[in-house]
């Protein structure tokens, strides 16, 4: 395989792995901050125990998110140096700003939070977690604005043989980036909701610490309900941006071949990229696609045939990823509603079915989020920066394929091991419940 293909596989593997750990960090930090705030306000030990239990799971997840993030920054220079050289003037700035304004705060405070329980006041300690949550979210914003620039490049001029910054404000206010950020953040909160729901349900079914896990169940049910619904709305906003600024991606998402006004939407269809049509289309809703994309029945939706085949994104994978993401999204709203209603009624013992299902739902939001990123990144191909630079022009020339094979094998082995360890640890500590005898871990007794 050539350096380009290998580097693409490596970037996909490492960024998807990194993003396994991001959603929970973005969301659970806020729940922890909330429970710790409640503890400071009410003095109720229950909230402290909640913070310590969920905090332990948060930390197991957080560490890997941090260390795998460094890989992403390094790769822009290692594997994509032509990209770094061509757009670094505008793309490098958000990366540096993210480190200075957000990542520093998040990483510095986490140590204080873990080790500082008796060292700073309870109130300050609770605020530290709120700041960690804020910094993590801000970090996501700046990184996604950088990605948003790759989706819809703005505020640059071509000068000195490269893309140079012309309007920094345009980059910061890029509607495409903000729509992506909103969707990413909100879906991360929904994912967090199901994580907490699933583990709480597991314990409730076994009647462990019912008082404690009822509280986390109820909070998480509300969290999941609100944010699954908002995920749908933010997804719709994203769709508008895609339709407006990246028509080929939208066409691939919908497997839409012919440009036309008042485009219909087929609930069931299957793309046939070779013959530039769909194998079948069932349950057609007249004007559906125009309505969904542009909120206007007669809007024109561009089709894939407008572009030569080499300029089109891979249709099947974009189409399927999008469909399954949406399908999962609908399922999440139903599950969250069910959990919220039962949680409000407080009927725990009567509902083993719900409590049995919820732990199995935990992986699904992660899958939906990964599918969403597949749509965003594969749907942009063959461009690395839409309309400005092709992915094939972005790869490093000073790197040999044997080097990338070596690094790809290294990443696969290292990340594979870390994934197994991390998931095993999460499951072990999730099952253990809130009370852990740490003296066995610390061995402090044997002085």
Partner 1 sequence: MALQILWFVLWGILWAVYFMLDGFDLGAGTLYNFLARSEREKSLVRRALGPVWDGNEVWLLTAGGATFAAFPSAYASLFSFLYTALLLVLFALIVRGVSIEFRAKGETASWKKGWDLGLGIGSFLPAFLFGVAFGNLFRGLPIDARGYHGTLLTLLNPYGLLTGVFFLSFFLVHGAVWVAFRTEGEFGARAHTLAGRLWWILLVAAVNFLVLSYFETNLAANYLHSPVLLVVPVLTVLALLGIKLYLVKNKTGMAFVFSCATILLVTATGLIGLYPNLILSRTDPASSLTIFNSSSSPMTLTIMTVVALVFVPIVIGYQTWIYRVFRKKLTDDTGGILY
Q: Find how far residue 113's CA is from the centre of its chain.
A: 24
Sole residue written with tokens 């705060």: 105
Give the range of 33-41, 106-114, 219-227, 242-250 binding partner 1 by CB under 8 A.
Answer: 106-114
| Stretch 407-436: interaction string toward partner 1, x if CB under 8 A | x--x---x---x--x---x---x------x
Residues 135-194 that bind partner 1 (CB under 8 A): 159-160, 164-166, 168
60, 425 Cβ separation under 8 angstroms:
yes
Question: How many other β-carbons are positioned within 10 Å of the β-carbon of residue 115?
Answer: 9
Spatial separation of the C-alpha atoms in residues 253 and 318, rounded to whole Å: 5
Beta-strand runs (E) in 166-224: none
Residues 350-409 that bind partner 1 (CB under 8 A): 396-399, 403, 406-407
- Out of 116, 286, 352, 387, which residue is the one contacting partner 1 (CB under 8 A)? 116
Spatial separation of the C-alpha atoms in residues 90 and 96, rounded to whole Å: 11
Spatial separation of the C-alpha atoms in residues 275 and 277, rounded to whole Å: 6
Spatial separation of the C-alpha atoms in residues 235 and 256, rounded to whole Å: 19
Q: How far is the CB of 212 from partner 1 (least distance, A)?
A: 17
Residues 280-319 that bind partner 1 (CB under 8 A): none
Q: How far is the CB of 289 from partner 1 (least distance, A)?
A: 40
Task: Check binding of 110 to partner 1 (CB under 8 A).
Answer: yes
Spatial separation of the C-alpha atoms in residues 310 and 302, rounded to whole Å: 17
Residues 86-105 that bind partner 1 (CB under 8 A): 88-93, 95-101, 103-105
Q: Which is nearer to partner 1, 3 or 375 (CB)?
A: 3
Residues 43-82 that bind partner 1 (CB under 8 A): 52, 55-56, 59-60, 63-64, 66-71, 73-74, 76-79, 81-82
Give the range of 110-118, 200-208, 234-242, 379-387 binding partner 1 by CB under 8 A.
Answer: 110-118
Q: Which is nearer to partner 1, 95 or 326 (CB)?
A: 95
Q: How far is the CB of 340 from partner 1 (least distance, A)?
A: 30
Q: Identify the CA nearest to 247 among candidates 69, 438, 380.
A: 380
Spatial separation of the C-alpha atoms in residues 36 and 252, rounded to whole Å: 45
Q: Which is nearer to partner 1, 267 or 436 (CB)?
A: 436
Q: Identify the CA nearest to 54 among candidates 227, 182, 223.
A: 223
Q: Which is nearer to partner 1, 99 or 307 (CB)?
A: 99
Query: How many residues lie near partner 1 (CB under 8 A)?
Result: 81
Q: How far is the CB of 118 from partner 1 (least distance, A)?
A: 3
Contacts (Cβ under 8 Å, ≥6 apart) of 419: 17, 20
Q: How far is the CB of 275 from partner 1 (least distance, A)?
A: 41
Spatial separation of the C-alpha atoms in residues 240 and 235, rounded to whole Å: 9
């Amino acid at each position: 395989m050539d350096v380009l293909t290998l580097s693409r596989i490596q970037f996909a593997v490492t960024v998807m792995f990194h993003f396994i750990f991001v959603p929970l960090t973005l969301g659970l930090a806020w729940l922890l901050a909330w429970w710790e705030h409640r503890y400071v306000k009410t003095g109720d030990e229950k909230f402290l125990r909640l913070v310590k239990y969920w905090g332990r799971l948060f930390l197991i997840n957080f560490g890997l998110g941090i260390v795998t993030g460094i890989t992403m920054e390094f790769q822009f220079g290692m594997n994509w140096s032509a990209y770094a050289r061509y757009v670094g003037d505008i793309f490098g700035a958000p990366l540096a700003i993210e480190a200075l304004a957000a990542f520093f705060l998040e990483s510095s405070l986490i140590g204080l939070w873990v080790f500082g329980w008796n060292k700073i006041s309870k109130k300050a300690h609770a605020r530290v977690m709120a700041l960690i949550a804020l910094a993590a979210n801000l970090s996501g914003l700046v990184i996604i604005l950088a990605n948003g620039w790759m989706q819809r490049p703005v505020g640059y001029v071509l000068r000195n043989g490269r893309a140079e910054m012309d309007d920094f404000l345009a980059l910061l206010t890029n509607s495409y980036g903000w729509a992506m950020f909103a969707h990413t953040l909100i879906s991360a909160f929904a994912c967090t909701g199901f994580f907490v729901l699933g583990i709480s349900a597991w314990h409730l079914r076994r009647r462990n610490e019912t008082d404690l896990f009822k509280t986390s169940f109820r909070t998480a049910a509300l969290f999941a309900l609100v944010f699954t619904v908002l995920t749908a709305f933010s997804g719709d906003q994203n769709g508008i941006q895609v339709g407006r600024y990246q028509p080929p991606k939208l066409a691939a998402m919908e497997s839409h071949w012919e440009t036309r006004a008042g485009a219909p939407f087929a609930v069931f269809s299957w793309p046939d990229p070779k013959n530039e049509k769909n194998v079948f289309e069932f349950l057609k809703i007249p004007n559906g696609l125009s309505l969904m994309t542009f909120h206007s029945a007669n809007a024109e939706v561009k089709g894939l045939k407008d572009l030569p085949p080499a300029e089109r994104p891979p249709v099947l994978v974009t189409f399927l990823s999008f469909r399954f993401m949406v399908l999962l999204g609908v399922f999440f709203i139903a599950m969250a509603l069910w959990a919220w209603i039962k949680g409000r009624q407080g009927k725990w013992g009567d509902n083993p079915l719900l409590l049995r299902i919820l732990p199995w739902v935990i992986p699904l939001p992660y899958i939906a989020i990964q599918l969403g990123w597949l749509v965003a990144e594969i749907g942009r191909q063959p461009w690395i920066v839409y309309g400005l630079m092709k992915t094939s022009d972005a790869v490093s020339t000073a790197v040999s394929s044997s080097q990338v094979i070596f690094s790809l094998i290294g990443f696969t082995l290292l990340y594979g091991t870390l994934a197994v360890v991390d998931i095993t640890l999460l499951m072990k500590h999730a099952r253990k419940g809130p009370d852990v005898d740490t003296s066995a871990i610390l061995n402090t007794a044997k002085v």
